[in-house]
Amino acid sequence: MAEIIDKGQVILNWHFQEFEKHDRSPLWYFIMFGISIALLVVSVITSNFLFAVIIVMFVVMILIQDKKIPAEIEIKIMDAGIEIGNKFFQYRDLKEFFIVYEPPILSNLFIRPKNKLTPTFNIPLLDQNPLKVRDTLLEFLSEDIDADEEPTSDFLSRLMKL
């Protein structure tokens, strides 16, 4: 039987897109196609067929994602934890948070779970006041004050429009 958790009162909430839908030009597709072909040639020359399969899967995933419409997700910061979509995370399962605020390029909340196998949550702040979000979360979680940049993987994904 599932454990019933009292989530408490909603302190802050907002909606955001499941993922950012990038506007990719024909040039972007041409460059990515060229890079993919070059990597496939290298993988065949070096007899690394697993790498070739990974490249093909990556290209197929990008093409499928282009067709997908991002879902609207709600985040709720509550007394007992944070609800992202239909998943609830108690504060005891979360390690820390940090906010990267560099408008108009970036305004995101990052939440790190204690479980190292669970990825860091990247949540766009959109029109939320970052100071209000920070002050609210400081009541429940510690802030990683050394983190002042988005993770490299997120930066590269944003840069390459992936």
pLDDT in tens, 54-109: 999 988 888 887 777 778 889 999 988 999 988 899 999 999 999 988 888 788 89
Whether 48 and 98 map to the same domain: the answer is no
Number of domains comprising the chain: 2
Same domain, 59 and 81: no
1 pLDDT more than 60: no
Both 130 and 50 in one domain: the answer is no
Q: Are strands 87-90 and 94-102 parallel, antiparallel or unpaired?
A: unpaired
Same domain, 56 and 135: no
Report the 10 Å Cβ neighbour count for 157. Answer: 16
Examine the domain organization and report whether 106 and 131 are in the same domain. Answer: yes
The answer to whether residues 81 and 150 belong to one domain is yes
Half-sphere exposure of 10 (CA within 13 A, CB side): 9
Please answer whether residues 49 and 43 qualify as being in contact, where contact means their C-beta atoms are separated by less than 8 angstroms.
Answer: yes
Domain range enclosing 43: 26-67
Domain presence at residue 4: no
pTM: 0.72
Residue 46 sits in the same domain as residue 110: no
